[in-house]
């Protein structure tokens, strides 16, 4: 279990982490979602004792990380798969980890096999690894000490779709055996695939947290008409506030029944009317991303 309480960290005048509290429970994969620079990595470094917080505390199974004896055997951490000496082979990196933790060398081969790095690949220098291979090596390193808790920063970054599904089943099994998993991502769909619970962070603050089902369900209605302005005025005259969503659609907190009645009243022909699954989360996330986005949002290539 990972418990974070009122954590804050400021760099100069920049508040990277702002009063963040959450709990990751055993048996679940918790996704830590937020745009780049939202404070995910800083929070994770604080949990792993690499960064001192200005306020608040982070506990791993009830104690501070630095008080965990031989921490690699309790909590497996992957913070940056590329932070390795490029001149070491993957096998050597795992060997150093196993020696440090005092593990039998057989763990090295077991972990290489678990993450599907072949014996030949494991002898190659890490500088010749793709990002996906580095991530697999990093996950192998995190699992080396057979820990009960896993904390992975952007582990799916660089993995191909097959790799992401491989990781999902790996983490799923791990959580089903009672393990605790905290993994971060800046991509909503990635987290949707892998996580059971979500913590959404933006500008250093937690903006939403709960189970994936809760967050994806709490969405309201999505509605679309051939004449969007007529629809908008129909909703307004029915006292329903709505915001533009997607291509020519509107999203509102009202129920589909209320929206349908309003459309009938205003004599607007609808093209689409449905419960907006996940749209709430998606829009929340887009809003977060937009405020930290460096480029203006343009219709084309906005997803690049």
Binding site for other proteins (CB under 8 A): 1, 3, 23-27, 45, 48-52, 60-63, 65-72, 74, 77, 79-80, 82-88, 92-93, 96-97, 99-102, 141, 148, 197, 209-211
Query: Minimum CB separation from other proteins for residue 42, in Å?
Result: 9
Nearer to other proteins, 145 or 249 (CB): 145
Measured between alpha carbons, how far is residue 162 from residues 2, 153, 156 in Å?
Answer: 29, 19, 11
Nearer to other proteins, 97 or 202 (CB): 97
Query: Minimum CB separation from other proteins for residue 259, in Å?
Result: 31
What is the C-alpha separation between 203 and 222, in angstroms, rounded? 28
Nearer to other proteins, 190 or 197 (CB): 197
Nearer to other proteins, 41 or 203 (CB): 41
Query: Minimum CB separation from other proteins for residue 154, in Å?
Result: 14
What is the C-alpha separation between 18 and 14, in angstroms, rounded? 10
Nearer to other proteins, 210 or 278 (CB): 210
Nearer to other proteins, 27 or 37 (CB): 27
Q: Which two tokens stand for residue 61?
A: 């199974």
Q: Quote the DSSP letter at residue 127.
A: G
What is the C-alpha separation between 102 and 252, in angstroms, rounded? 57
Residue 155 sits at φ, ψ, to 5 deg, of -70, -25
Residue 289 sits at φ, ψ, to 5 deg, of -65, -40
Closest C-alpha to 279, from 198, 220, 214, 208: 220
Measured between alpha carbons, how far is residue 182 from residues 31, 83, 139, 260, 293 in Å?
Answer: 6, 20, 13, 41, 25
Residue 153 sits at φ, ψ, to 5 deg, of -95, 115
Nearer to other proteins, 34 or 97 (CB): 97
Nearer to other proteins, 44 or 242 (CB): 44
Query: Minimum CB separation from other proteins for residue 190, in Å?
Result: 21
Strand order in the sheet with 149-152: 75-78, 149-152, 180-185, 29-33, 197-202, 205-211
Query: Minimum CB separation from other proteins for residue 158, in Å?
Result: 17
Query: Minimum CB separation from other proteins for residue 203, in Å?
Result: 20
Q: 147 near 69, Cβ under 8 Å?
A: no
Query: Minimum CB separation from other proteins for residue 193, in Å?
Result: 21
Query: Minimum CB separation from other proteins for residue 177, in Å?
Result: 14
Closest C-alpha to 223, from 245, 241, 205: 245
């Amino acid at each position: 279990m990972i418990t974070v309480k009122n954590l804050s960290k400021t760099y100069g005048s920049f508040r990277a982490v702002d009063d963040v509290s959450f709990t990751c429970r055993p048996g679940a994969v918790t996704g830590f979602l937020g745009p780049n620079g939202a404070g995910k990595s800083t929070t994770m470094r604080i949990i792993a004792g690499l960064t001192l917080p200005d306020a608040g505390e982070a506990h791993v199974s009830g104690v501070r990380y630095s008080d965990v004896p031989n921490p690699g055997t309790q909590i497996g951490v992957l913070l940056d798969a590329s932070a390795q000496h490029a001149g070491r082979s993957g096998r050597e990196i795992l060997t150093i980890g196993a020696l440090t933790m005092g593990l039998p060398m057989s763990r090295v081969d077991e972990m290489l096999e678990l993450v599907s790095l072949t014996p030949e690949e494991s002898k190659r220098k890490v500088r010749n690894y793709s990002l996906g291979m580095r991530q697999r090596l990093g996950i192998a390193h995190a699992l080396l000490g057979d820990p009960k808790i896993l904390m992975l920063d952007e582990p799916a970054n660089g993995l191909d779709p097959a790799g992401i599904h491989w990781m999902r089943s790996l983490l799923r099994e791990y959580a089903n055996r009672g393990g605790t998993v905290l993994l971060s991502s800046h991509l909503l769909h990635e987290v949707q695939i892998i996580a059971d619970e979500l913590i959404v962070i933006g500008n250093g603050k937690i903006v939403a947290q709960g189970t994936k089902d809760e967050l994806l369900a709490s969405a309201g209605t999505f509605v679309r008409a051939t004449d969007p302005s007529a629809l908008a005025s129909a909703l307004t005259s029915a006292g329903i506030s709505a915001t533009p969503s997607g291509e020519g659609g509107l999203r509102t907190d009202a129920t589909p029944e209320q929206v349908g009645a309003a459309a009938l009243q205003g004599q607007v022909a609808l093209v689409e009317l449905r419960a907006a699954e996940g749209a709430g989360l998606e829009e929340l996330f887009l809003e977060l991303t937009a405020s930290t986005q460096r480029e203006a949002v343009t219709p084309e290539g906005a997803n690049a």
